[in-house]
Amino acid sequence: MNVLISGQTKQTARRVFIVVTLLRCCSSSVSDAGGAKLTESPTLARYFGTKTRYEEVNQYLLQNPLLVDKSLVFTPDTDSCTPLQIVAVIRHGTRYPTTKQIKKMKQVYNLVRDKGEGSGDGVVEALKSWQMWYEDWMDGQLVENGKTDMQNLAFRLATLYPSLLSTEKLRGCHMKFVTSSKHRCVDSTKAFIKGFVENYLGLKEDEIQGVECTKPEINDELMRFFDHCQKFVIFIEENATALNQVDVFKTSAEMNTVLEKLAGRLQVSVGDLTADLVQVAFYLCSFELSIKGINSPWCKIFDQEDAEVLEYLNDLKQYWKRGYGHAINSRSSCILFHNIFNYLDQAVSESER
């Protein structure tokens, strides 16, 4: 989601030009598997990589999801500085696993249910009594607390920059909300707009009829730039060797150690496990925490060493597919960066007229 907000009015004082890049934080409570409240995040939570829940960034939001920590954002020391524009690139809210992930989750669950043997510590028994509730239809859709995430983020952002996020600026459409066509991104954008318009500004639906900028603008060429970059599609997406180092690590000594340890804990044959199944079991631990706020029994089959290896596996994939591994990964995003700086240049130009 790309939120573009400007206060393009002529000023004679000094100005601050602001680019804000944000992740959002959510507000669900945290419990153990039995429902008891936890006072802090599970130890493994720091190793979830791209599956990390957003509360880990700012745990104060567990107590007050509308809390604004101004120390995290640069603010002027004098009244001579005026916020002129915000460009925020925001990730979607908390979501369900994808259908591909859910199919593997069912596979590892069935393995434990049908072949797992208890070793007296109650871990396998807890997994056998755990109910598989993920369904294929969920396919990465936004969960309910994911909508709340985005509403609260909008409220906090507007609290930080009330001069830019005001009723006047909204009615004049000095802002727009751009999203990709992915359902979780569209729903995140709608929730963000609701959090800003209804929760922060206190406006009702009939009060904003005809205000076009209250509707998400879908732009895949901008927000899913990688899908529209031919070189990225050819050299990364359709190239079987682009993630070769990920495949190599899946058969490494470190990963084999994790497989052997997990096979021992579950009392299943190590031949029944693969790196992909072990990784998706780790995902179950992370999704249960981010969606339900519980320390799942799936978390109890891993120790810190396992988590470090699985975190590295996930980081390795992101490095080669989205990060610094291939030059085209970053170059494919140029269209988004050009868009951001064009808006900033336009804001500067219009303010100096």
Active site residue 228: no
Q: How far, in Å, CA of 63 to CA of 27, rounded?
A: 8
> Residue 129's CB: how many other CB atoms inside 10 A?
10
Q: How far, in Å, CA of 175 to CA of 343, rounded?
A: 11
Unique residue bearing structure tokens 């879908």? 218
Q: Which is catalytic among the residues 92, 174, 183, 228?
A: 92
Q: How far, in Å, CA of 48 to CA of 41, rounded?
A: 12
Helix (H) or strand (E) holding 20: strand 20-22
Instruction: Write the secondary structure of 139-161 as one string of H (helix), E (strand) and C (coil).
Output: CCCECHHHHHHHHHHHHHHHHHC
Residue 310 and residue 136 in contact, taking contact as beta carbons nearer than 8 Å: no
Identify each DSSP E strand in the chain by its residue range. 2-6, 15-16, 20-22, 31-32, 82-83, 85-90, 175-179, 217-218, 294-295
Q: How far, in Å, CA of 120 to CA of 133, rounded?
A: 26
Residue 81 and residue 18 in contact, taking contact as beta carbons nearer than 8 Å: no
SS3 41: coil
Tokens of 172: 């004049």
End-to-end CA distance of the chain: 30
Tokens of 11: 């000023």
* Residue 67 burial (10 A CB sphere; 0-12, 13-18, 19+): middle
User: Which phi and psi angles does 135 have, rounded to 5°?
Assistant: -125, 155
Q: How far, in Å, CA of 92 to CA of 183, rounded?
A: 10
Pairing of strands 294-295, 31-32: parallel
Q: Which residues are catalytic?
A: 92
